[in-house]
């Protein structure tokens, strides 16, 4: 029997927070990483999808693209004072993506923060295929560190 892997798993990393992400497809790594990050910050089920924000991000590698993508979402949260409920990637290749963020303006009474994330660290980020089990199918995997 093949064990079903979890798409993301958060863990404490000294004064920061780590996130392990697994996916069947490369694009899913980006989607699951964004979902995991958002769930660490807010109760996303309470956020209304009143506003759509289009973003376009580039990177010199798939790892840089992932970091730039997550940091762009954090920019919308931290600088533009938005709360994001959902992220939909509408165009993807390993060096460029376009996405639509759905959410609303931040309201401290309606959106209590579970955690504050300043940025995603670039250190030792590697997106690769691994086998979670001996002789198991390969899945995409990465680990991220969030600076809090």
For the chain, the domains span: 16-147
Q: Which residues contact 122 (CB under 8 A, 6 or more apart)?
A: 63, 64, 67
Q: What does the pLDDT average to over 9-16?
A: 67
**pLDDT, position 140:** 96
pLDDT digit string, tens, across residues 19-46: 999 999 999 999 999 999 999 999 999 9
* Closest-CA residue to 87 (of 96, 74, 116, 127): 74
Instruction: Please give the pLDDT value at position 136.
Output: 84
| Helices and strands counted in the chain (H then E) | 2, 8
pTM: 0.88
Alpha helices in 42-147 (DSSP H): 62-78
Read off the pLDDT of each residue in 61-84 and give the average, rounded to a whole number.
97
Q: How sure is the predictor about 3, in pLDDT bands with cuts at 50, 70 and 90? A: very low
The CATH label, of 3.40.50.2300, 3.55.10.10, 3.30.365.10, 3.40.50.300, for the domain at 16-147 is 3.55.10.10
């Amino acid at each position: 029997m093949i064990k079903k892997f979890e798409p993301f798993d958060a863990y404490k990393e000294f004064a920061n927070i780590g996130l392990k992400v697994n996916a069947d497809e490369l694009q899913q790594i980006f989607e699951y990483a964004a979902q995991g990050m958002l769930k660490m910050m807010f109760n996303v089920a309470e956020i209304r999808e009143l506003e759509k924000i289009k973003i376009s991000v580039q990177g010199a590698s798939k790892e840089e693209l992932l970091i730039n993508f997550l940091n762009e979402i954090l920019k919308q949260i931290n600088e533009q004072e938005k709360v994001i409920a959902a992220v939909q990637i509408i165009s993807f290749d390993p060096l460029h993506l376009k996405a639509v963020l759905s959410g609303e303006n931040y309201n401290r009474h309606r959106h209590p923060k579970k955690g504050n994330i300043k940025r995603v660290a670039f250190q030792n980020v590697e997106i690769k295929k691994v086998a979670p089990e001996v002789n198991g199918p390969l899945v995409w995997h990465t680990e991220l560190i969030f600076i809090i």
